[in-house]
Amino acid sequence: MVRWFFRTLNQRSLLAEDDSYGRIPLFPMQHLKIYLDGQFVDEPDAKVSVFDHGLLYGDGVFEGIRFYNGRVFLLEEHLDRLYDSAKAILLTLPLERPALREAVLETCRQNNLRDGYIRLVVTRGKGDLGLNPNKCSKPTVFIIAATIELYPEKYYTEGLRVNTVPTQRVSPAALSPAIKSLNYLNNILAKIEGNLYGAQESIMLNQQGFVAECTADNLFVIKQDKIFTPHVSDGALGGITRRLMFDLAREMGREIKETNLTRYDLFVADELFATGTGAEVVPISEVDGRKIGSGRVGPVTEEFIRHFKVRTQNTGVPIY
């Protein structure tokens, strides 16, 4: 029933098939179609209230999701985290999981896309100017499907130049890093410091001086053919792509160990790479002015990139 409802919304008579690029519009679309609280609207009409607590206070949760070759990659894992994040902040999603899953897929269909990036957002909803979430009667849900290029292609062959920043990762005692909330000010302040340094990405430490994560990515260290990554308890988001690296490592006959890492461990690493839904798997060639390994993409990182690309092209929930 849910699928039938969304199909009726999609003007499939306006679409043709193309052997090279999949579904294409016979008539050019003027704007992206945005899912907003049960309807698809043109991008200029996708508006939320200025009293929405997602805007006023960053009160809400979100997911960034990739889709490749007409399939949404790791969709169920992203939905798991979204519902877990919402539960952790006592936010009841207004859609059952099957309906939300179909809304994600239909947003891709509405925009005739086979490859790109999805932003799924659930805010606390419209309330008053106070903090009390009980004044918000109904959550707001919107979904954007578009294309994305987080880093230019050259960084996937040359590596990122990164720095560590003064801004520390918020303590897990204050806000669990497992919650993917709309409040990213901690990361944004670190990103600003990285921009001032001229870095493509920045590394945040926790209050104990251990490496937590990058501003938008998880971090992996390779030393003497062994692979390490910070504990989630050190302040790292339990990234979906991070989790995938553990699966790929087993495929490759390797093992990833979670451990406490310091800046010194980064400086003397043979290889470094970062992972994220937007970034995918991207090598790091320099940290705080220290060249990492040869300063180019290392063999273990290359192996992870190859296995990741194969997985993205062969798995996922079909859109069409």
Sequence-distant (≥ 6) Cβ neighbours of residue 75 within 8 angstroms: 65, 101, 104, 316, 317
Structure tokens given for 208: 């104990």
3-class DSSP state of 55: helix
Picking from 79, 251, 31, the residue whose alpha carbon sits closest to that of residue 180 is 79
Question: Catalytic site residue 180?
Answer: yes
Structure tokens given for 55: 């805007």
Q: Report the half-sphere exposure of 117 (CA within 13 A, side-chain side).
A: 12
- Cα–Cα distance, 273 to 271 (Å, whole number): 7
Name the β-bridge partners of 181: 61
Return the number of other C-beta atoms located less than 10 Å from residue 290's C-beta.
Answer: 12
- Is residue 134 a contact partner of residue 33, using CB atoms and an 8 Å limit? no
Structure tokens given for 226: 């062994």
From 180, 223, 291, 309, active-site residue: 180
User: Tokens 């899953």 correspond to what residue?
Assistant: 101
Q: What is the DSSP string of 75-90?
A: HHHHHHHHHHHHHHTT
Taking each helix axis from N to C end, the angle separating 97-110 and 2-9, rounded to the nearest 10 degrees, works out to 20
Backbone angles phi, psi at 14, to 5 degrees: -90, 5
- Cα–Cα distance, 136 to 133 (Å, whole number): 5
- Residues with a catalytic annotation lie at 180
